[in-house]
Structure 1
Amino acid sequence: MAGRATKGDFVSVQRSRGGVVLLSALVLDSVGNGMFMPLSLIYFPQLTPVPLALIGLLLSAATALTLPVPMLAGWLADRIGPLPLVVASQLAQGAGFIAYGRVHEPVGIFLASALVSIGVRFFWSCVFTAVADYADGSTSTMSKDSWYAWANMTRTGGLGIGGLITGIAVAGGSDAFYRLLSDGSAVCYLLAGIAIGAVVRAPRRAHEKDAAVGYATMMRDRPFVAFSAINTVFAVSTGMLALGLPVLVKNGIDGPPWLSPLVLAGNTFLLAALSAPVIKRLAPYRRTRVLIAAAGLWAAWCVAFAGLVPNQPGWVIPALVVASLLYTAADVLHAPVSMALATALSPPAARGRYLAVFQYSFVIAGMIAPAFFTTLFELHRALPWLGLALLNLAALAGMRLLERIVPASAQQVTEPARA
């Protein structure tokens, strides 16, 4: 069964090194992401004559190409290690963004977007395995939850920095600024990949009993499969603030245009500042209980948003800001602990495949969340929030049942990194 190995079952080839470089490279990666993310739907219309509707189809097709990537990436990570794949993914994204400013026709847009999308999918399919492998060989006493929390802090901070740079630069409005931002993103990805490849090292781990673990065996692993399914709800929840808040403010409560950026910026700052300190204080608690608390906080946030009404800014705006803190608290709890639990449920020799497949919960969430929100919002402004609240309550109950079959060794946040 997944996650049952003891310290003596592992063979360490080398100690980890380059932890500061790894986290710094994740900051660079996220700055590059944050610089381009606000431009994703306006970049090519600004620089090319291709119609917006066709650009949307090209971007969607490029993303669809990446659906098989996690399974391939996980298999490769277990064969050659995740770090080379992380480096290759960042170099691919850097090359793709260099191409972004130099394509002018649909075929070029599709090819450049496909290169970036494939790099993104490889990155997210391997980076958490790389962090877990690094933690295994580290002399630090931090748990994997803390390593993931630090990774989340650096990533969130990088996204905020990148978004701020873009907000300042786009104010110029010229094509040159847009090309400068895509080239700047490319430089960030390339530097991050080079830094990790040159400096960061993590041990390769072997576990003979798990050597034959494959995808068919994984699908019979009840705790892991059940948790991955439940995490799809959590993944929808974690993306819903950025997706739904601007629409709610503009079309649901007739709020001021500055409200959404202010709330999203505050959320980014709090996530960057609080993840590691909060996770450190959760050491006495079970991972499943932490995720149950996150589900409860998300449900409360959704109920609060469902109660917001138009034309009453005196109490609605403060209520929205306070309710958003419930979302932030849930996200602080969920992001590192969910990855740490998925890691703990993974056999060491198949960690790459397990964590890559776990990313499908986020892939599926990204596919269904826009339709879920827009369809219900068209019926009534409160319905998407009430629907998501119910889903989180169901996920809460599911986590409570799952707790009975999750091994004790995978439960505790205090699990030390194996040195």
Structure 2
Amino acid sequence: MPIIGGAERLPRTVWWLVLARAVNRLGAFSVGFLTVLITSGFGVSVVAAGAISAAFGLATIPSRLLGGVLADRLGRRRTIVAGLVACALAQAGIALSSSVAMVAVFAVLLGLAFEIYEPPSQAMIADAVRPAQQAQAFSLFNTALAVGGMGAGLIAAGLGRWDLRWLFVADAVSCLICAAVIRLVLPADPPAAPRRAGEPAQGGGPAQGGGPAQGRRPAQGGVSAWRDRRLLVLLLSGTLFAVIFMQVGMAMPLALARRGLEAADAGLLSAVAAVVMALCQPLLRWTAALSHHAAMTSGYLLLAAGLAGYAAAEGLPGHLAATVVWSAGDVLMFGRSYALVVGLAPPDARGRYLSVFGTCWGFATVLAPLCGTQLLELAGPAGLWGGLALVCLLLAAAQLTVIRPLLRRQDSRTMVGV
């Protein structure tokens, strides 16, 4: 495999997945306008529209779990394609709905399909790369989401002025394009291994690009990720991180307005964060020698510094500088968390482990608006960002004093980069 700058190139499978995710994210701007479509198109109250959006958010939690189960049993590529096509059908249904009841049904169906794509994509990345490359690959996968979101905002601004229904049509088209790319260019799912009588079923397939899983634990058919205490600890810390991360998007417009700045400047800060994430990707090779725990601790400290910068900032320049700091921390730690999860999972249960860990974003979708608005109301912008910075410091301490000893003590043989 070719070497650049002392680091192996990522396999083509990873780059195709990154490209497909960027294309899909480029079109995934319709959900943010669901409430507006319901209120303006059908004359429904904001409260009722919010309840439908909340139902969509709750449906994404079992969606991700379903994606993990299907990834291990049906196959990675088949599950990705099925999830994207299901999303396209649900979005087309919303665009064609003639009543608010139909919109509500299709919104829930969209939620049930929305996250199916994630676990098999992440599992396919874990299958395709060597353990030392997992953090870089997962970080790049996350950056594709941020960069695609920049273009998504521009497309939404154009189509949204014409007719909000066209946002869902464009999103459906992007899902179908993404599904076609995945189906045509990624390796097919390997056939299921024949089973002997009494032998449990095993999902997924052999690692792609990494050779046989020598030295790993034997495959464990039917393993329950929810019974792995190490994974649940990572899920808890991941949920806290997700709540903090989502505040930057959800609470930032309100916090800026409280300080007399333009709420729309939150879009500028989001664009700066995406640029920083993209520019920092080559720098990950310099931190490859760090253990996952050391990198995540450093990332939490950078997040704390950036959020503290928000707490102290009064004008836009201070907010921009703080955005650069926390974005660098996000790049440093995001891929490491998923690499830790992959290190815990038996080879045939990677999809399920990643899907369970990924529910932290579903939980955060419910918790973040409640926590952010309450903190902002009680303590103002300085209290909101200062409190979140303190939580980041606690997470940094927990990474070294609780999570690392727990993972080492229970199964040090399965850890990568510890």
Paired residue type of 2:72: D
Paired residue type of 1:121: E
**348-357 vs 76-85, which deviates more?**
76-85
TM-superposed deviation, 1:174: 3.3
CA RMSD of aligned residues (A): 2.4
Match of residue 3 from structure 1: none
**325-334 vs 299-308, which deviates more?**
299-308
Among candidates 254, 260, 271, match of residue 265 of structure 1: 271
Distance in 2, matches of 1:290 and 1:51, equals 46
8 Å contact kept, 1:372–1:384: no
Q: 1:292/1:20 Cα in 2 relative to 1: closer, same or farther (>3 Å)? A: closer
8 Å contact kept, 2:303–2:329: yes
Among candidates 50, 70, 77, match of residue 76 of structure 1: 70
8 Å contact kept, 1:38–1:166: no
TM-superposed deviation, 1:120: 1.2
Q: How does 1:16-415 map to 2 (within 5 A)?
A: 18-33=13-28, 35-135=29-129, 143-170=133-160, 173-175=161-163, 178-201=164-187, 204-205=205-206, 209-212=218-221, 214-215=223-224, 218-251=225-258, 253-274=259-280, 276-309=281-314, 316-381=315-380, 382-401=382-401, 402-404=403-405, 405-406=407-408, 407=412, 410-412=415-417
Distance in 1, matches of 2:59 and 2:143, equals 30
Aligned length: 379
Match of residue 10 from structure 1: none
Q: 1:125/1:367 Cα in 2 relative to 1: closer, same or farther (>3 Å)? A: farther
8 Å contact kept, 2:79–2:117: yes
Deviations along 1:202-247, one digit per CA (max 9) or x if unpaired, are: 66227783324522xx445343322222121211222221112111
Paired residue type of 2:76: P
Match of residue 312 from structure 1: none
Match of residue 5 from structure 1: none
> Under a length normalisation based on structure 2, what TM-score does the superposition of the two structures give?
0.83
Distance in 2, matches of 1:383 and 1:367, equals 21
Deviations along 1:313-350, one digit per CA (max 9) or x if unpaired, are: xxx32222111222211211122221122112212121
TM-superposed deviation, 1:37: 4.6
Distance in 2, matches of 1:214 and 1:267, equals 38
**277-286 vs 66-75, which deviates more?**
66-75
Distance in 2, matches of 1:25 and 1:306, equals 37
Match of residue 200 from structure 2: none
TM-superposed deviation, 1:300: 1.8
**329-338 vs 66-75, which deviates more?**
66-75
Identity of aligned residues (%): 24
Secondary structure of residue in 2 paired with 1:224: helix
Secondary structure of residue in 2 paired with 1:67: helix
Paired residue type of 1:28: V
> Under a length normalisation based on structure 1, what TM-score does the superposition of the two structures give?
0.83
Distance in 2, matches of 1:220 and 1:333, equals 29
Distance in 2, matches of 1:146 and 1:379, equals 39
Distance in 1, matches of 2:93 and 2:111, equals 13
Give 5+ residue unaligned stretches, structure 1.
1-15, 310-315, 414-419
Distance in 1, matches of 2:267 and 2:65, equals 36
More contact order relative to length (CA 8 Å, sep ≥ 6): 1
8 Å contact kept, 1:291–1:338: yes
Secondary structure of residue in 2 paired with 1:90: helix
